[in-house]
């Protein structure tokens, strides 16, 4: 046999090498996704004009995140009871976060934190008031402040419970958020949206 001739590997060995390669890749990727970062695609218009439908964000888990130990094939109720814990620090007011809602399993939402634990949040005449102070929120388009009349949208004052957060979308008249689902607990915030990475032409930091 010529030295240049290749010795063919047994098929079982080839299969084993592929399995080991895949397992190794998973062992590296899963901890990174759980504790370091994740790429998340924007779905919908609730964060217009800050984020557009279809854009892909870089989401930091290192800043503050929550790890949910649920398996992909578990149903929604089981996932709600999955073991989870928070890492890193705590979200700050006006951070854009990836979060989950009570009763919605592992569905991810992207929203902005507007109320911290203990804050009193009020919407009056299309503007946000926190602890009596009005915030202009330059990222809110004027047409999103007034969905149905010259007085804009308003709501009663609400005090955020300890350990919970009030989140809203930047497209204020087209967002399913804490105004409807209530506040969310700290372990429902699973990452900090830091930048848009795709499309490349729209790469930018998220304010």
Question: Rounded CA gap, 55 and 113, in Å?
Answer: 20
Name the nearest CA neighbour of 185 among 69, 20, 68.
68
Tokens of 147: 């969905």
The beta strand positions in 42-80, using DSSP E, are 56-60, 64-69
Per-residue tokens: 108: 């991810």
Q: Residue 53 CB: number of other CB atoms within 10 A?
A: 12
* C-alpha span between 21 and 40 (Å, rounded): 25
Tokens representing 183 are 């506040």
Cβ proximity of 162 and 186 under 8 Å: no
2 is catalytic: no
Cα–Cα distances (Å) from 5 to 1, 2, 8, 15, 47, in that order, read 7, 5, 9, 22, 61
Is 178 known to be catalytic? no
Catalytic residue among 60, 61, 111, 175: 111
C-alpha 66/C-alpha 88 separation (Å) is 9
Residues with catalytic function: 46, 111
């Amino acid at each position: 046999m010529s030295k240049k001739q290749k010795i063919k590997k047994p098929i079982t060995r080839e299969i084993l090498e592929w399995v080991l390669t895949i397992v190794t890749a998973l062992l590296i990727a899963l901890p990174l996704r759980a504790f370091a970062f994740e790429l998340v695609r924007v779905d919908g218009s609730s964060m217009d004009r800050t984020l557009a439908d279809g854009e892909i964000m870089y989401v930091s888990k290192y800043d503050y995140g929550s790890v949910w130990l649920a398996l992909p094939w578990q149903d929604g109720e089981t996932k709600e009871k999955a073991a989870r814990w928070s890492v890193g620090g705590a979200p700050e007011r006006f951070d854009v976060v990836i979060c989950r809602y009570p009763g919605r399993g592992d569905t991810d939402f992207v929203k902005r934190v507007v109320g911290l634990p203990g804050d009193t949040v009020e919407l009056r005449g299309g503007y946000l008031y926190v602890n009596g102070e009005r915030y202009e929120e330059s990222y809110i388009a004027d047409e999103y402040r007034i969905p149905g009349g010259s007085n804009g949208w308003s709501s009663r004052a609400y005090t955020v419970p300890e350990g919970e957060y009030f989140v809203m979308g930047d497209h204020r008249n087209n967002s399913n958020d804490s105004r409807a689902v209530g506040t969310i607990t700290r372990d429902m915030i699973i990452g900090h949206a830091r930048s848009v990475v795709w499309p490349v032409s729209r790469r930018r930091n998220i304010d």
